[in-house]
Amino acid sequence: MKKYNIWFWLTPLIFAMVVLTGIRLVSDTPTGYKFWERPLEWNLIEFGCAIIIAYLCQFIISYLLERNSKRTRKLTFKMFLSEYLLVLVAGIILFNPCLALIHYLINDPLGIDDITIANTIFLLVLIISYSLFRGNQILNAYIDQKLQTQKMKNMQIETELKFLKAQFHPHFLFNALNTIYFQIDEKNETPRRTIEQLSDLLRYQLYDVNQAVTIEQEINFLLTYIDLQKTRMKESLILDINFNPELKNQEIHSLILFPFVENALKYVGGEYWIKIDGKLDGNKLLFEVVNAIPQTPFHASKTGGIGLENLRRRLELLYPGKHKLMVSKTADSYKANLMIEF
């Protein structure tokens, strides 16, 4: 249930007093009429009806503000104008029957001048009230948007700093591997080939991290990583890898796809199979990784790699509103789907 603060209940009383005061000043001042000298019952009827109208207006304004808040960030002049026209129409429909009722109860014939004066003052106060509330809503939305933008910038800076710090480790390993490579006899092709693959992976991470690369480069990195990992995997592992040939020169940020493949190779079990599929759908990349898992539950490590949580943050920074990430788990498999608009 929606909760309302004290101002929600006090504002209509102020609204009613302002409208009544305005009507009395405009109507009575030229004629010298003294409304306090008429029967008390008439004043109570007028004031009571004014309060009821004010509270009804408050609920209408509250509803419209909640309804219009969803489009505040993409507000156009046409939309803004339609809001105020809706407020005016709602005010006219609500106010005039009540005005007629008041005049009927106090046995005062309703003239065209009464309608004109009352409607003008009421609608003016209504528009001013709505403008105050709506303006405050727009200002809060603007401030919130600025805070979110600054937060995103801070997150991006933090992520870049983490990647810069992470470069020291692969750089050291890269140089060390080169030294080991030349110490291995040329006849030992298998270890030399393994070191070459590992060097390629480190080189990609060292020089291309957080930069735009072609999807072909990203795929080659994944295939190299898979080929390297196969040396330590069981021979019974079934790999089904399919990449659409059209995925070639489209640009993508590096290591966006890597966490899915890394997790699949890390946690594969059970029937011991992995399926990797990448295809092009218009200007969208559809990437899916599914792997068998053991029947016993496992818990993803919170360390190592950039992780899915860090990946979510990178996607929010690099592809805001242009990506969709979904993960699901069954008793015997784990699936990750990623959609990115190039």
Instruction: Write the pLDDT tens digit of every residue in 125-150.
Output: 888 888 888 888 888 888 888 888 88
Average the pLDDT over 4-20 and give the result: 79
Alpha helices in the chain (DSSP H): 6-28, 40-68, 77-105, 112-166, 168-183, 189-208, 215-230, 258-267, 307-318
238-243 vs 323-329, strand pairing mode: unpaired
State residue 72's pLDDT score: 72
Q: How many CB atoms lie within 10 A of CB 246?
A: 10
The answer, yes or no, to whether residue 278 has pLDDT greater than 90, is yes
Percent of the chain surpassing pLDDT 90: 20
Higher-pLDDT residue of 324, 211: 324
Top pLDDT among 339 and 306 is at 339
**pLDDT beyond 60 at 304:** no
User: Under a CB-based contact definition with an 8 Å cutoff, are residues 270 and 291 in contact?
Assistant: no
| Planar angle of CA 46, 106, 126, nearest 5 degrees | 30
Averaged over 160-170, what is the pLDDT?
57
Q: Which of the two residues, 38 and 131, has the higher pLDDT score?
A: 131
CA distances from 317 to 74, 159, 308, 311 (A): 20, 10, 14, 10
pLDDT at residue 302 greater than cutoff 50: no
| pLDDT of amino acid 301 | 43
Mean pLDDT for the chain? 81
327 — pLDDT class (breaks 50, 70, 90): very high
Residues 6+ apart with CB under 8 A from 177: 195, 198, 199, 202
d(CA 106, CA 41): 8
Which of 96, 85, 87 is CA-nearest to residue 61?
87
Contact, 262 vs 232, CB < 8 A? no
Answer whether 0.85 is exceeded by the pTM: no
The answer to which of 8-22, 93-107, 288-302 has the lowest mean pLDDT is 288-302
Residue 273 gets which letter from DSSP? E
- Quote the distance between the C-alpha of residue 295 and its chain's center: 36
**Position 166 confidence tier, pLDDT thresholds 50, 70, 90:** low
Q: For the chain, what is the largest distance between any 2 Cα atoms, rounded to a whole number of angstroms?
A: 116
Residue-level pLDDT at 3: 54
